[in-house]
Chains A and B, each alone.
Chain A
Amino acid sequence: MDELRPLSLLCEVTYRCNLQCPYCYNPLALRDYRDELTTEQWTDVLRQAADLGVLQAHFSGGEPTLRADLATMVAAASRAGLYTNLITQGTFLDDAPLDRLLESGLDHIQISIQAPQTEPADRIAGAAVHARKLDAVQRVRGRNVALTLNCVLHRLNHDAIEGVIALAEQLGVARLELANVQFYGWAYRNRLALMPTRRQVDRGEAIVAAARERLRGTMDIIYVLPDYFDEFPKPCMNGWGRQFMTVTPNGYLLPCPAATSITALTFDNVRDRPLAEIWYISDAFQRYRGTHWMPEPCRSCARREIDWGGCRCQAFLITGNAGATDPVCSLSADHPKVVGLREVADDAELVARRA
């Protein structure tokens, strides 16, 4: 495929949400995003994305189903030839809205749960919603659309990982994503309370490995590794500005959904510039694209085109310099800071996500 082309567009259609999950990666300043793009603007963004070569559109948020025009956006994406994916917490997926989405051509739905049991799931979500989520899973299971069950793992639910797998089996789910929390936005704010322990991380990996073996061919388990425990950083977004674009509810085009945390960068808005221009020539997209910006130890590293220097947002959050090697890398001079962040505090305050 073409050398430089976006493949995936994440549409964060709203940051409104009826849940208050403390592990949310959305920005803290949720009120700054209330001037949401209109239906016509989203439709236009999706068409431009397809013209640029994007293959998949992911609708997320916030809770995307809070946009009454979501089905219209999905239909626009489908018409443009895009594969469409809905990332939802499922509390509003009643029969009628679900059928409207499927009639609009929706290809895949990801529903997230907070834990396998009502308590503590509802406590983590900050609302009594677990039962409604399970109803939504059943409704989707009964229809002709692919489904992934998702659970974000952190210290408060990591010990229930077998329970999540058992629940997925019981629900007959063919695809389960177990994603260790990534520390951005609200999750970064709450990291001391959410950080899994080393024991949890090791135990989780063993349980997932065994479950994958046992469920091979029945259930595909995707395991997103915990960020602060690895020797090398994740290839965040497969490299800055290489494959992924995110549009915020108010129209900013970002190389990654957490990029607004890099306060040293200025981003362009789809209301002001065409997507192609922002993707190919804007300062923010070009700044950390490829390998030209890399400092040592990345510059001469054999892994520089494997992990692409890791995550720019993480580098900024932890070192104050978005152009530094991701400090998760054991070769980074700042790595001791990450080791320090693996600490947990049993009395850490947990701030509920709220606007």
Chain B
Amino acid sequence: MNTARPTLAKGVKLRHDRDGSVILLVPEGALVLNRTAAVALELVNGKRSIEEIAEAVVEQFEVSPRRAKTDLTELFERLKARGFIQWTS
């Protein structure tokens, strides 16, 4: 799973709001992202693996690599279940 490469699904967009927050715009809704999720989703491009995205998160936040990978896998699984991201192979 950690080698999976996430990509934003059709109709899903990241937006920087005027108040500094990062928002995931989805069909008929919007999710305000926490800082970790925002950094992670900025890196989602269908080429980077969750492993690579986790490394970048570890560089920016005080979090263990193991914890970062677990959290991100969970985040992406949740977004996948709603159809907001897809895996590319």
Residues of A with Cβ closer than 8 Å to B?
A: 1-2, 7, 53, 55-56, 58, 81, 83, 85, 107-108, 110, 144-148, 174-175, 216-217, 219-220
Given pairs A2-B19, A110-B27, A217-B83, 7 additional interface contacts (CB within 8 A): A55-B17, A55-B23, A55-B25, A55-B30, A85-B28, A146-B11, A175-B27
Residues of B within 8 A of A216 (CB): 81
Query: B15 near A: Cβ within 8 Å?
Result: yes
State whether A108 and B28 are in contact (beta carbons under 8 Å apart), knowing that A1-B17, A55-B23 are contacts in the complex.
yes
Asked whether any CB of chain A lies closer than 8 Å to the CB of B12, the reply is yes
Q: Please report whether the interface of chain A is mostly helix, strand, loop or mixed according to DSSP.
A: loop
Q: Which residues of B contact A (CB under 8 A)?
A: 9-13, 15, 17-19, 21, 23, 25, 27-28, 30, 32, 80-83
Q: Which among A1, A108, A148, A217 is the interface contact of B32 at CB below 8 angstroms?
A: A1
- A217-B80 contact in complex given A2-B19, A107-B11, A107-B13, C-beta closer than 8 Å: yes
Interface centre among A110, A175, A216 (most CB of B within 10 A): A175
A-B contact pairs, 10 of them (CB 8 A): A55-B17, A55-B25, A85-B28, A107-B11, A144-B10, A145-B11, A146-B9, A146-B12, A174-B83, A175-B27
CB distance from B17 to the nearest CB of A (A): 7
Please indicate the chain B residues that have their CB under 8 angstroms from the CB of A148 in the complex: 27-28
Task: Name the residue of chain A whose CB is nearest to the CB of B10.
Answer: A146
CB distance from A223 to the nearest CB of B (A): 14
A175 & B83 in contact (Cβ 8 Å cutoff) = yes
Nearest A residue to B27, CB-CB? A108
State the Cβ distance, B23 to closest chain A Cβ, in Å.
7
Within the complex, the shortest CB–CB distance from A12 to chain B, in Å, comes to 16
| Contact present for B13 and A145 (CB under 8 Å) | no
Contacts of A53 in B (CB 8 A): 18
Q: What 5 A-B pairs have minimum CB-CB distances, sorted nearest first?
A: A146-B11, A146-B10, A108-B27, A83-B25, A108-B11
Q: Which residues of B contact A175 (CB under 8 A)?
A: 27, 83
Contacts of A7 in B (CB 8 A): 30
**Contact call B17/A83, Cβ cutoff below 8 A:** no
Query: Which residues of chain B have C-beta atoms less than 8 A from A55's C-beta?
Result: 15, 17, 23, 25, 30
Contact between chains at A83 and B83 (CB < 8 Å): no
Chain A nearest Cβ from B73, distance in angstroms: 14
Provide the bound-state CA to CA distance between A232 and B21, in Å. 32
* Known contacts A1-B19, A217-B80, A220-B83; is-contact A56 B11 (Cβ 8 Å): no
- Closest residue of chain A to B20 (Cβ to Cβ) is A1
Complex interface: chain A residues within 8 A of B9 (CB)? 146, 174
